[in-house]
Chains A and B, each alone.
Chain A
Amino acid sequence: MNDTHLKERENILSEANKARWDLGIDLHDTVIESIYEDASRIARKAVKQKGEKAAYALDLRIDKIVTSRWLGFPIMFLLLALVFWLTVTGANYPSGLLASFLIDYMHPILKGVAASIHMPWWLDGVLIDGAYLAMAWVIAVMLPPMAIFFPLFTLLEDLGYLPRVAFNMDSLFRKAGAHGKQALTMSMGFGCNAAGVIAARVIDSPRERLIAIITNNFSLCNGRWPTQILIASIFIGGLVPAQLASVVSAGAVVGIAVLGIFFSLVVSWGLSKSVLRGEASAFSLELPPYRPPRIWQTLYTSLIDRTIIVLWRAVIFAVPAGIVIWLVANVHIGELSLAEYFIQWSNPFAFVFGLNGVILLAYIIAIPANEIVIPTILMLTVLITGANGVGAGTGVIFELNSVGDTANILHAGGWTLLTGLNLMLFSLLHNPCSTTIYTIFKETRSVKWTVVSTFLPIVLGFMVCFFTTQIWYLFFV
């Protein structure tokens, strides 16, 4: 292209730009309107419609029921409760099976093989007691609930019901500066926070999407329910007569979950009014027609897209964490192991928050999955109290079948009702697991928001534990 051509082009462009000043400010709208007008004129000529009205009438009848003022919320709670109940009861058996195979059966076999080839004790410890055991644990406790929860949830989504949940819940979330679809990501978070963060993709408004991602961690995930139930039945159930114990401890766990929802709404509101005030926001909520779910496709997508991806990420993080867990308990400097050093050093600090060094260390090294926090706490407690005959060796995470035995270990570790209560609060309000943190980074592509979503809950958790503890001391001591 020669110079005169270039110049000519420049001139035309600048002429065009000047012309836009004369065309005024709503040129864009006019163009879109005329496109729609043309399209609908062509459609009127070329398309004949019949039958659509009848199908829609049925949809509308269903919608009138599921969005009705009196039935809308009860139907929603019942359906979601059913999904959670199916997940919890359905996962018990396969989880037990996987645990007995991977941990009770395979672990000794691997140890035997290691011994027969005269593997050095430290290599055997790092690889089998550390890496393998952590990985096996994560698979056994994570896989079954996810494999049940995700397909059920996806089924509801495919059916067209979930958008109606968002539609019903929107006014609550609007007041918190969030999007109705956050009700869905929140519910998903009760299954798994990483999946909840991925699910936030359905929110197309940038600000509301970030809010949903940052606050998803306040949904008590599947990995934290067992911790809550165990601690509640030891410390809170123990306060009341035996026949009431299970009801009271269940109530305490539900209370923690509700507190999580409360925090999620309050933090959403705070974020939308402060740091995220300027982020773009646009509301839209399509209510697609109902349709029979495609069972196989649902199974496939929920297993591949959600279960496998999340599990794979968890396993990848579990292996190095397992190694670290084993090493901190087994590497000694002088008399004490690294774990003991850290615990003794952090105890005074932790006591201010009503926690202890064991809990802090467990939450740091068990970052890949909330599921291995309790086994790590038990292992560390045995390590520092020097209890004999419990557990499977230094640095080997374990869990006990009996709640009473677990209680004995924790009491030996100096735990009180206050410690238990604070652990329940801290389990709700702490950093997301590494899988979730990684997922948040993948979804937001922003270090800033990843850091915010990681540290905001920890700061909140320390604050809540601190004030709980101090108020407790003021009134009860």
Chain B
Amino acid sequence: MITLLTVGIQSGILFFLGVVVVLIFFWIFWPKKGLIALFSKIKMNNQRVQLEDALKYLFDCEYNKNLCNMNSIAGNLNISDDSASQLIERLLVLGLVTMDDNTISLTDTGRSYSLRVIRVHRIWERYLADETSVAQADWHNEADRIEHFVTQEDTEKLAAQMGNPVFDPHGDPIPSIDGELPEPKGKLLSNLKKGVTGRIIHIEDEPRSIYEQLVVEGLYPGMQVYVTDVDKGKTTFIANGDECTLTPLFASQITVELLSGTVPLAPKYELLSSLAIGEKAEIAGISPNCRGQQRRRLMDLGVVAGSLVSAEMKSASGDPIGYRVMGATIGIRKTQADLIFVHKKNDTNE
């Protein structure tokens, strides 16, 4: 009886210990908030990282013809004014920037250094967008983390593998190896007048909270927009058939390239997922939100503008649906079918 009792007590303690061990395990490995994630965040704040981030920001100001001073650097890097002045001191000593009447600007060495960092950053963003499943809103932060730790050679190898991309997924041009970059094009959406047609060429990815909202709205580079109304600063426009209204703060994050002449308004597309079993349609295109491997795969299977598609059968559980394209039947999930645009066809010509 006594032995049984001790076993009971011991196992109670053991049980408790077991729970504690499991909790500690999760505490260490939990993504983003765990101990390991915390350590990697601390590692981020070292001097070189700050220096490179400052250079990137300075170049950004120069490219967009804005002026830059100590306060704006402190604000952008999210550091105190004290640290910012120390940082600028270091930049001056290294000969990467010059200071003129509180305005800070890059030297030639500084510019080529920052272009190198930007090239690495944008190539990695391209990679994250096309070759991984990292969430869209995380591309920028993830590339921000990676850019300080990878070597130039690795990045060039990666670029070669991807066929030397020239744009990042936000529509920004990637500087060439020699540090060349085209002049900025286009106008901010917030500055457009009523009745103007254009194409989105860039969506600013900082600050993240605004970018996330724009992603949720379904806006992406390459989209055609037609401004229908500008009222009290708010811009209303039609993008791929859907109406959308943005406040000036949001609209100023989007750069649009104006389309000259009479451009036919892009019609409202229907989605492949809206096809009922037995219906036929012609494919109009794949949304740019479907990228990389997934996009290549669909195109390989014949999902390209102009080819005919028909919905043939539902899976026993309702999703995916089997579509017939180019003489083959392929199963496509609803989430993907939502990214494929079609024009429905009447059955008369068949």
Interface residues, chain A, CB within 8 Å of chain B? 14, 17-18, 20-22, 24-26, 29, 32-33, 36-37, 40, 52, 59-60, 63-64, 67-69, 72-73, 166-172, 174, 180, 204-205, 207, 274, 277-289, 352, 463, 466-467, 469-471, 473-474, 477
Contact = CB atoms under 8 A, between A and B. Distances in A.
B31 A280 contact: no
A247 B320 CA distance: 38
B294 A282 contact: yes
Contacts of A37: 306
B304 A33 contact: yes
Contacts of A281: 133, 293-294
A53 B295 CA distance: 29
Interface stretch (B38-46, B232-240, B328-336, B341-349): B328-336
B306 A33 contact: yes
B171 interface: yes
Given A67-B322, A180-B331, 19 more contacts: A18-B182, A21-B167, A25-B171, A25-B201, A32-B299, A33-B305, A33-B306, A36-B304, A60-B312, A63-B312, A63-B313, A64-B313, A69-B314, A278-B132, A279-B133, A282-B297, A288-B328, A463-B18, A470-B18
Contact of B15 (A52, A274, A467): A467
Contact of A167 (B7, B296, B302, B320): B320
17 contacts: A14-B178, A21-B173, A25-B222, A69-B318, A170-B320, A171-B319, A280-B133, A282-B293, A284-B330, A284-B332, A286-B301, A288-B328, A289-B329, A352-B14, A466-B14, A470-B11, A477-B11
A319 to B, nearest CB: 37
Contacts of B164: 17
B166 interface: yes
Given A168-B315, A287-B331, A474 B8 contact: yes
Contact of A14 (B176, B292, B294, B302): B176
Contacts of A68: 316
B186 to A, nearest CB: 12
Contacts of B131: 280
Contacts of B286: 29
Chain A CB count within 10 A is highest, among B14, B171, B285, for B14
Contacts of B330: 284-287
B327 interface: yes
B18 A467 contact: yes
A159 to B, nearest CB: 15
Contact of A174 (B221, B297, B304, B333): B333
B306 A69 contact: no
Contact of B294 (A20, A52, A283): A283
Contact of B293 (A21, A205, A469): A205
Q: What 4 A-B pairs come out closest when comparing CB atoms?
A: A72-B316, A473-B11, A285-B331, A470-B15
A283 B330 CA distance: 11
Contact of B313 (A32, A60, A170): A60
A70 to B, nearest CB: 8
Contacts of B11: 469-470, 473-474, 477
Contacts of A59: 329
Nearest to A273: B31
Contacts of B327: 52
Contacts of A473: 7-8, 11
B78 interface: no
A170 B294 CA distance: 17
B302 A284 contact: no
Contacts of A168: 315-317
B12 interface: yes
Contact of B316 (A18, A69, A204, A274): A69
B306 A284 contact: no
Contacts of B294: 281-283
A248 to B, nearest CB: 27
Nearest to A274: B31
Nearest to A281: B133
A22 B164 CA distance: 15
B298 interface: yes
B248 interface: no
Interface string B20-59: 0010000001010000000000000000000000000000
B182 A21 contact: yes
Given A21-B166, A470-B15, A474-B8, A280 B132 contact: yes
Interface string B152-185: 0000000000001011000101001010101000
A365 to B, nearest CB: 27
A422 to B, nearest CB: 14
